[in-house]
Amino acid sequence: MDFIEKIGRLDRRIIFLTVALAVILPLFFPLGLPIEVTPPVQQLYDVIEGLSEGSVVMMSIDYDPSGAPELQPATLSILRHCFRRDLKVLMLGLWAPGVPLGVQALDEVGVGEFNREYGVDFVNFGYKPGGAVTLVNLGRDIHDVCRQDIYGTSVEELPMMDDVKAANDIGLVLSMSMGVPGSDQWIWYYHARYQGNLATAQTAIGAPRYYQYLQTGQLVGLVGGMKGSAEYERLVDHMGLATTGMDSQSVAHLLIIGFVILGNIVYWAEKRRKA
């Protein structure tokens, strides 16, 4: 068996091991490469900068634990930006398994870092089933969909909600999304009817599909994957897990590109031999 053949039959467990090392080693030996901000992320940042004080940002947690490494850092950074700008945050979610992640983020940033008051500066209505159909109702009558918050308090008893009744009371809608129901439904069912600013943070798997909506203005911003999250961390000048992850991401990408090239060399060498 010659070298090419040996490589062609590489045990997949060796490949697995190299991937793990590519992710782990940069954690111990960080490269600290600079992170450039891309236009779609900058666009969202500028929209939030442009909102007047006291505006309401509706943040929909449409992800679950498997989307957390990519989207939780974005949720934290955007919340930081919102509270820093004295905006109010209305949180809800189309995915039940994301609700505790939203609660955790509001606790960490809203209460922990900015000392904001629940019910006055931010509220959380938790999981809303029904996907697209719920969004149609939501834009028309928020109080009808969000009758009680996650603690069982009636919407009428939450001071922040006094002036927040329908879509036109919302300054920006953010769908932190990793699938269906998620940003698609927000675009087609909510934004198409009620207009206003809509932006999305996506896991990297979903992100490429949303550039078409940026071009039409249906979206005013797009944070894609852990890289997008790292960019937002840089914009609000608060480095977190996404920034830490970028070095691992860099090394792993180089490794995978290496594997693609190696695989093709083997393929062409074998093809030539057969010819």
> Among residue numbers 170 through 199, which ones bind another protein (CB under 8 A)?
187-189, 191-193
Binding of residue 113 to another protein (CB under 8 A): no
CA distance 116 to 118: 7
Distances in whole angstroms, Cα of residue 3 to Cα of each of 7, 266, 269: 6, 10, 11
CA distance 189 to 134: 9
Which residues does 66 contact at the CB level (< 8 Å), separation at least 6?
178
Binding of residue 51 to another protein (CB under 8 A): no
Pick the binder of another protein from 120, 163, 168, 211 (CB under 8 A): 211
Pick the binder of another protein from 103, 166, 180, 269 (CB under 8 A): 103
Binding of residue 60 to another protein (CB under 8 A): no
Closer residue to another protein (CB): 54 or 129: 129
Binding of residue 118 to another protein (CB under 8 A): no
Phi, psi angle pair for 35, to nearest 5°: -105, 120
Binding of residue 25 to another protein (CB under 8 A): no
Ramachandran category for residue 131: left, alpha or beta (phi over 0 → left; psi -120 to 50 → alpha):
left
Closer residue to another protein (CB): 126 or 171: 126
- Sheet with strand 198-202: strands edge to edge: 122-127, 88-93, 56-62, 172-177, 198-202, 222-224
Closer residue to another protein (CB): 120 or 205: 205
Binding of residue 27 to another protein (CB under 8 A): yes
How many residues bind another protein, per CB under 8 A?
A: 93
Closer residue to another protein (CB): 38 or 114: 38
Residues 223-242 that bind another protein (CB under 8 A): 224-227, 241
Taking the complex as a whole, the smallest distance from the CB of residue 19 to another protein amounts, in Å, to: 5
Ramachandran category for residue 61: left, alpha or beta (phi over 0 → left; psi -120 to 50 → alpha):
beta
Instruction: Compute the half-sphere exposure of residue 258: CA atoms within 13 Å on the CB side of its CA.
Output: 11
Closer residue to another protein (CB): 87 or 179: 179
